[in-house]
Amino acid sequence: MLFGRSTPPEQAAAVADDVPAAINDLALQALTEQALAPTAAAPDRVDAPESRPIFTELPPMTIDPSREYLATITTPRGEIVAQLRPDLAPQTVNSFVFLANEGFYDGLTWHRVIEGFMAQGGDPLGTGTGGAGYNVPAEFTNEVAFDRPGILAMARANDPNSASSQFFITTAPAAHLTGQYTVFGEVIAGQEIAEGIPLRDPMTATTPGEEIIAISIEER
């Protein structure tokens, strides 16, 4: 699944060619066996490496699904602006907005970037094995297909309900992912920034991925 181990170059080619078997068996390995049951209670913070807060429970619903939310992801090369879709994935958008407003994503990296497929970030460990400390229930839909670049979705392990803080932006069509991952937004500006993120395999990299300087949220 879209977490953890990356695909070797020859296998990534199969991913780009939209071969579902290669996706499931090679490119999208599971993050971890750990799964925390989400609840609606207010989240508690616990200490994490480098003093980054990790939360123990799904945050309470604070967004208004009838409002418009824009997320601006600031990188060293420019900004990526995404229109969030609380109408499609209210719990996911609520969690993403909560983490962004808490500064959780500030200073993290794009830890896994596969050419012609996607850029993945949001892991506090930078290895593909970290999360926010809670899981977000799946909100899969066929209403928005992975048929174009710029789809913003949650990464997860094998369990459909194992999404946490890691997310990805597609850099090419990936139709085989439709209905398998929670789509919660789409890039409306700066897709060229997303497509220019340096490639990185977290299993072999010796330096950190490109930084996510900050993610800010605008409510309209």
Tokens 């897709």 map to which residue?
191
pLDDT-based confidence at residue 18 (cuts at 50, 70, 90)? very low
> What would the DSSP string read from start to end of 66-96?
TS-EEEEEEETTEEEEEEE-TTT-HHHHHHH
Share of residues in the chain with pLDDT > 70 (%): 77
Cα 201 to Cα 6, 15, 55: the distances in Å are 6, 15, 27
157 has pLDDT over 90: yes
Other C-beta atoms within 10 Å of 42: how many?
10
pLDDT digits (tens, 9 = 90+) for 112-138: 999 999 999 999 999 998 999 999 999
Enclosing H/E stretch for 154:
strand 151-154
Enclosing H/E stretch for 185:
strand 183-189
Domain residue ranges in the chain: 9-219
Question: Which amino acid is it at 209?
Answer: G
Least confident of 2-6, 71-75, 175-179: 2-6
Mean pLDDT of 161-188: 98
- Options 3.30.390.30, 3.40.640.10, 2.40.100.10, 2.60.40.1120; CATH of 9-219: 2.40.100.10
pTM for this model (two decimals): 0.80
